[in-house]
Amino acid sequence: MALYILGLGLGSLDYVTLGVLNRLKMCSEVYLDSYTSFISRELLEWLEKELGEKLKIAVRKNLEDNIDEILEKAVHRNVAILVPGDPFIATTHISIIVKAREKKVDYEILHGVSAYSAAPSITGLHIYKFGRTITLPREGDPKEVYRVIQDNMEKGLHTLILLDTADGGLTIPEALIKLLSVEESLGRKILNEDSLAIALVSLGMSNQLIKVGTIRELLSVEYPPPPHMLIFPGELHFTEIEILIKIHGAREDIVRKYRPPRYEKDRTLNYITKTRRVLKELKINEDSKHVKDVLEIAESYVEDSYSYWSSGEIYNALATIAYAEGLLDGLRIVGKISFKW
């Protein structure tokens, strides 16, 4: 007797594996996770027909608060939990196998295709160029999502945003409006209506849609119902550019000229340029070895900062240029040199 945690894949019958089908035949009770993602009506109807009374639609309370009851059943008979996508691509169900191990309940896991892995694959974007992934909730402050986009773009990385599936699911236009409101509030110039984005809808289902365009264009599209996702690209490789244009119908004039905004990188380069100018134009009021030594150290910091900046280590570059500015300000405060920032 065992607990089977089975991944259903992308939500349509096409992605249900032979391994899952074989395990279902062995089970006397099957719990279908209905709250972490969506499955197609076709798949739900097929499961209802094949499993009959064995199928139970599980809500969060069943699989979190009352999971001990399911584990007790799995001691005496085979029980399955069906999870859309891959069971553990997110952290929601990891506690189940932890409790199963604690209670010495045998379990088996069959993984499925997840939208998390399918999104890079189906868009043609290189998976190793994705940064941190984050979920945009229906309720709550979207600033953290905006910051993740900014941090990834600073590194030239793509950002995958999973849209909340609660209460029918957050839509792409709703998500874009939320993110534009953060931009208006913070003014970092990371996003605007001309920013490039990729809309992904119902991956693996019959109504799958992928649309590449500006935020302005994506706001005007009529989308099938959720699940919805967004990708904000970082630096694009030439093969990624070709796929977006030739496979997904993106406008060539937009994609070929696209460069992700690099707020921190641009700001740091301004600091480096400004400090170099000061070192060149400053007036030395005390021509002593001590002053010259400090100025040499400041110049070394500037060059180190530029080296960090050139290699993409923006935060090291910012810290190092701050040391140079601090030395110059210190000499100015005590009257050893004169300059204006």
pLDDT at 92 over 90: no
Q: Residues 92, 197: contact at Cβ < 8 Å?
A: no
CB contact set of 28 (below 8 Å; sequence gap of 6+): 54, 77, 78, 79
CB contact set of 8 (below 8 Å; sequence gap of 6+): 15, 16, 20, 39, 43, 82, 83, 84, 85, 112
Parallel, antiparallel, or unpaired: how do β-strands 29-33 and 159-163 relate?
Answer: unpaired
What pLDDT, on a 0 to 100 scale, did the predictor assign at position 90? 72
What pLDDT, on a 0 to 100 scale, did the predictor assign at position 161? 98
Q: Residues 86, 114: contact at Cβ < 8 Å?
A: yes
Mean pLDDT computed over 114-133: 96
Residue 81 confidence class, pLDDT cut points 50, 70, 90: very high
Mean pLDDT computed over 84-97: 87
Q: How far, in Å, are 53, 155, 212, 251, 258 from residue 241 at the CA level? A: 50, 18, 11, 10, 10
Q: Give the tens place of pLDDT for each residue, 261-314.
A: 888 888 999 999 999 999 999 999 998 999 999 999 999 999 999 999 998 888
Q: Residues 121, 148: contact at Cβ < 8 Å?
A: no
Residue 125 confidence class, pLDDT cut points 50, 70, 90: very high
Q: How far, in Å, are 112, 165, 255, 312 from residue 247 at the CA level? A: 26, 28, 13, 31
Residue 122 confidence class, pLDDT cut points 50, 70, 90: very high
Tell me how far apart the alpha carbons of residues 11 and 49 are, in angstroms, rounded to a whole number: 17
Other beta carbons within 10 angstroms of residue 193's beta carbon come to: 13
The secondary structure of 229-291 as a DSSP string is EEEE--SPPHHHHHHHHHTT---HHHHHT-----HHHHHHHHHHHHHHHHHHH-EESS--HHH
> What average pLDDT does the structure give for the chain?
94
Tell me how far apart the alpha carbons of residues 218 and 213 are, in angstroms, rounded to a whole number: 6
| C-alpha Rg value of the chain to the nearest Å | 27
| Ramachandran area for residue 73 (φ above 0: left; ψ -120 to 50: alpha; else beta) | alpha
Interior CA angle at 19 toward 14 and 25, to 5°?
A: 100
Q: Which residues lie across from 90 on neighbouring strands?
A: none
pLDDT at 36 over 90: no
Tell me how far apart the alpha carbons of residues 14 and 177 are, in angstroms, rounded to a whole number: 34
pLDDT at 91 over 80: no
Tell me how far apart the alpha carbons of residues 243 and 222 are, in angstroms, rounded to a whole number: 23
What is the token pair recorded at 147? 């910051």
Tell me how far apart the alpha carbons of residues 128 and 1 are, in angstroms, rounded to a whole number: 40
Other beta carbons within 10 angstroms of residue 64's beta carbon come to: 14
Q: Residues 146, 179: contact at Cβ < 8 Å?
A: yes
pLDDT at 208 over 90: yes
Tell me how far apart the alpha carbons of residues 313 and 248 are, in angstroms, rounded to a whole number: 33
Cα 10 from chain centre: 18
Q: What is the DSSP letter of 164?
A: P
Tell me how far apart the alpha carbons of residues 247 and 164 are, in angstroms, rounded to a whole number: 28
Mean pLDDT computed over 239-259: 96
What are the chain's domains?
Answer: 3-113 (3.40.1010.10), 116-256 (3.30.950.10), 263-338 (1.20.1270.90)
Residue 154 confidence class, pLDDT cut points 50, 70, 90: confident
